[in-house]
Amino acid sequence: MQIVDGIITEFKDAWRFRYVINSFVSTKLKQRYRRSFLGYFWTILAPFSHYAIIGFVMSNISRSSMPNYFVYMFSGSVFFSVIAGVINGAPMYLIANEHFIKKIYLPKIIFVLNTVALEFVNFSLTAISLVLLGMITKLIHFSIAFLYLPIPILFGMLLLIGLGCVISIASVYFRDLIHILPAVMQAAFFLTPILYSIDMIPTKYHKFILMNPIYYLIECFRIPIVQGDFPPLPFTLALIGMSLFIFLFGMILLKKYDNKIAFRL
């Protein structure tokens, strides 16, 4: 219960400083979009072009027979790219804000929320544009299941807030995480069914995929878009369970290391 109290206090505290997050996100967005004429398109394309190129090449090599493969691959990649963006960036959340942390009182969670919020605003803009584009080109058909989409997005944020806390704290102690994580995420990209689907791989490996929280996150985001259906209930439950678990774990770690971080930075 003490832990729950601690987490509630942390969020109350963060609420007091909500305008800091607000100002951070809006200024960063303005900087990105204003700085060039193509700024907006660039932000949409840049984050997942990396994955899109791989997917494009793959789809030509493997001549996938999956219907709607293009949408399948794109929706998976775009969601994966926000996850990878947060995870790869997380080592710097606290380290890069050393000058704030040592000189001014701010709840530490602010530094995690800042970037997760920014990534998700960006992601939402990208996702909306892509869905619209898909609908114009008739690759995607509007479905009532779209109403489900806020669930993977919301729980994705919770999961990434938790992971962001864990990684940013760990990086204060292990500075080389920033070099290790991109390789891990690159591997995760291929180990998660994004370019392929789970039934294209032997059943004996399925249990590994079912242990991967990113899989549920991506499935729950992709099924409504690609198939126009609601994801099966066990997927939703797994998503919610895993996200809450990682979120709580991150918050507990943050509480535990809160006062030590400033000394170690």
Given the rule CB under 8 A, which residues bind another protein?
Answer: 16-17, 19-20, 22-24, 27, 31, 99-106, 173-177, 180, 259-260, 262-264
CA nearest to 163, candidates 190, 149, 181: 181
* Minimum gap (Å) between residue 178 Cβ and another protein: 10
Burial 148-170 (b: 16+ CB within 10 A, else e): bbebbbebbbbbbbbbbbbbbbe
Whose Cβ is closer to another protein: residue 23's or residue 62's?
23
Q: State how far the Cα of 92 lies from the Cα of 198, in Å rounded to an integer.
A: 34
* Minimum gap (Å) between residue 196 Cβ and another protein: 31
Whose Cβ is closer to another protein: residue 66's or residue 106's?
106
* Minimum gap (Å) between residue 104 Cβ and another protein: 4
* Minimum gap (Å) between residue 19 Cβ and another protein: 4
Whose Cβ is closer to another protein: residue 98's or residue 229's?
98
Whose Cβ is closer to another protein: residue 17's or residue 42's?
17
23's tokens: 């100002």
- 164 Cβ contact list (under 8 Å, min separation 6): 86, 87, 90, 93, 112, 115, 116, 250
Q: State how far the Cα of 189 lies from the Cα of 209, in Å rounded to an integer.
A: 12
Q: Say which DSSP state 105 is in.
A: -
CA nearest to 40, candidates 136, 114, 115, 128: 128
Whose Cβ is closer to another protein: residue 106's or residue 121's?
106
60's tokens: 């030509």
Whose Cβ is closer to another protein: residue 92's or residue 262's?
262
* Minimum gap (Å) between residue 8 Cβ and another protein: 18
Q: State how far the Cα of 249 lies from the Cα of 159, in Å rounded to an integer.
A: 10
